[in-house]
Chains A and B, each alone.
Chain A
Amino acid sequence: MKRRSIVALSIVAVTVAAVMAATSGAANKSANANSITVWLQIDAQSGWPDLVASTNQKFQSDHPGTTVNVQYQNWGDHLQKFDATLAGGSGPDVIEMGNTEMTKYMAAGAFAPLDRSSFDNSASWLKGLAASGAYGGKTYGVPYYAGSRVVTYRTDLFKKAGISKLPATTAAYMADAKKLFAKNPKKGFSPMYIAGTDWYVAMSFVFDYGGGIATQISGKWKGLLSSPKSVAGLNAYKSFYLATSRASKTTDETHPNPYDVYAQSQAASMIGPSWFSCCVGKANTGRTAQFVMPGHVKGQAIPGFLGGSDLAVPVTSSSKALASDWIKDFTSTSAEKTLQAKGNIPNATNLLGSSVNERAAARSWFVPTAKHWVDVENGNILRNMLAQILTGKLSVKQAAASASDNIASVLNQP
């Protein structure tokens, strides 16, 4: 009996010790306040890691003893991770948000207000980007950079196919695709690689034909994809895709990355952010150039999605002032110039140049600025519609009508 009580006692002792160990571990963690955590998207890791490093260096020399912990995130799941940290604390002090993701979080009060005037060039921030970071008259997001979409192409393949002049309309592009097919008979080769469900490209066609995604009429959202103009745009996308791309009809624009397909010489051109030129493969660097994607009317570029990122400080951060200082360094004039040199559009109009990327931004479109827009994106409503259209599962009209209703009902949620 005595031995039994000893066993029982020791189990209790172990349990108590374990609980104490767990709680003391938690106490240690919060004591380390001289460190900020920054969540950037992997674009920074693959595109401009040197800028991140030099910013951290400058920040640390201005704030001795403070360390910066940069954690790279994926677009696909960073919001779920962020939600988890909002619930449990220990989240980032600075977070990069896509400009289409901001509204929902600002509406819920997830970010701390920032002093707009303390950031470089804030008086001339790009309108669209600045708007995506403002809510109720306050600034919650600092524009980081923007990006338009351009065509990256193989000059040698175009020349070999006898294309002496770059296509000025989508119809001319389709005719050139025929020539490129004739010279490159290998199966799976795409004159223009477009992932089937790349909705950024598809919506460019919709806007080029005067259509749209959704509009707000007296406080209520109405889907626009089923309008005749949008349907015309979707039809144009379908025929353009079928004439130029041999990508999977159901895949998105990151599985695989278009530049990987291009680097393997399985495509003569691709559409995407201009920094795609980073990763075209060693053999192709000397024979790669970029141009602005034409629209269906001669002399007019196709409207491109003006994507971009904002930097925000979550309300849960315990080092808001440091976080804001880091953002100042990362969006300074010199930092923005580095970003520009990497093929991005800087965050302010006074810094704009005349690169192909900046010219492509002249005609652009943006997603509906609705609190629930991010649910439309995450629910893959547009991607599903495109897969249905391209695989022929549904007619363009049917697919567009169902997506349009779907979008309206998501956006009109309370």
Chain B
Amino acid sequence: MAAAAETTLHRSRRRRRFWAGAVPYGLILPVVVVVSLILGYPLYWLVKLSTQQYGLFELIRHEGISVGSRNYSSVLHDSIFWHTLLRTVVFTVANVTLTMVFGMLLALLLVRVSAPVRVLLSSGLVLVWSMPVVVAVQIFYWMTNFQNGVVNYVLTELHVGDFSQHDWYATTFSQLSLVTVLIVWGALPFVVITLYAGLAQVPRDLVEAAEVDGARAWRVFADITLPILRPILLILTSLSIIWDFGVFTQPYLLIGQSKITSGNYLMSIYLFEEGYFKSDFGRGAAISILMLLMVAVLSVVYVRRMVQIGDEA
């Protein structure tokens, strides 16, 4: 009798333990379902599309023709793809470096200036942040206009040289430099404000102690500030790389469709032109997958660091 009561108790406890263990899974189930629907389903179709011949003809019939890895080999044997990849890597390095360097300098400046200036500066940054990209592109486009642009006017008036009717869109280098200015300008607020928040974590007494020991500003920055900011810098850099590698809106709109040729493609534009303009959606999907893999490799650093921070906390 007692033994029987014991087993019932055991069983009910076990059952309760089973339910207690299931609750967390039940809780994340909706998230898993939603994420797999909004990420997994399109991804599945993207992979499927990339193994198909899928042009306008197939699009109208909603039915592709399976071609295996032909799209991939055609992209990987395309010299334009490799040129574009190289150009995009150089472009990304330049953009990320400029963003991080200027972001750091501005964040340090924010710490130093008086309160009213800090408010002015940070509200300026927030305004930049809140401006829609398309509007910013249009304003940059007007400012650099060939005939009536304010940039040409000011440079000429300042006697920097004769910039009247200077064509900022004449060479690929000049075009991509303008795009870089636009992207760095737009990326600065997030980087500056995040770094400024990080700088608040630097213990004041540590800096003072170093200064008492006779350390110069640069030594203090290199030996105290930087190590403390490292995790933030790492995450900001990886995020910037991911964003700048796949950037589309700024270059596409600023350079303008009629000036885009295989000689100034960035990866995302190459994808858009090959996939959509030529209505070769299968090939476009293959380029997407290749880009996805590249970005995934780049994100490994970011994800690993996030996990580490999670473990530390």
Task: List the interface of chain A (C-beta within 8 A of B).
Answer: 1, 4-5, 7-8, 11-12, 15, 76-77, 79-80, 83, 86-87, 104-105, 107-110, 187-188, 197, 246-252, 254-256, 261, 264, 266, 315-316, 375, 378-381, 383-384, 387, 391
Contact = CB atoms under 8 A, between A and B. Distances in A.
Contacts of A380: 257-261
Given A7-B27, A83-B279, A391-B170, 20 more contacts: A15-B33, A76-B257, A83-B59, A87-B59, A104-B56, A105-B56, A188-B164, A188-B165, A247-B146, A247-B147, A248-B165, A248-B167, A251-B146, A378-B278, A379-B277, A380-B258, A383-B258, A384-B263, A387-B170, A387-B259
A272 to B, nearest CB: 15
A15 B23 contact: no
Contacts of A5: 23, 26
B161 interface: no
Contacts, number: 111
A338 B34 CA distance: 55
29 contacts: A8-B23, A8-B29, A8-B30, A11-B30, A12-B29, A76-B257, A79-B277, A80-B276, A83-B56, A86-B59, A104-B279, A105-B56, A108-B56, A188-B147, A188-B164, A197-B259, A248-B147, A248-B165, A249-B170, A250-B169, A251-B146, A251-B169, A264-B148, A266-B147, A378-B277, A379-B261, A380-B260, A381-B261, A384-B263
Interface string B165-190: 10101100000000000000000000
B167 A187 contact: no
B84 to A, nearest CB: 14
Contacts of A316: 60
The 4 closest A-B pairs by CB, nearest first: A108-B56, A252-B258, A248-B146, A108-B57
B261 A384 contact: yes
A83 B170 contact: no
B146 to A, nearest CB: 4
A250 B264 CA distance: 14
Contacts of A15: 30, 33-34
Contacts of B261: 379-381, 383-384
For A1, A108, A246, A391, the residue with the greatest tally of chain B CB atoms inside 10 Å of its CB is A108
A255 B170 CA distance: 14
B256 interface: yes
B280 to A, nearest CB: 10
A391 B174 CA distance: 14
Contact of A315 (B60, B167, B258, B279): B60
B60 A11 contact: no
B20 A1 contact: yes
A86 B34 contact: no
Interface in B240-278: 256-263, 273, 276-278
Contacts of A8: 23, 26-27, 29-30
A158 B279 CA distance: 48
Contacts of A12: 29-30
A88 to B, nearest CB: 10
A375 B146 contact: no
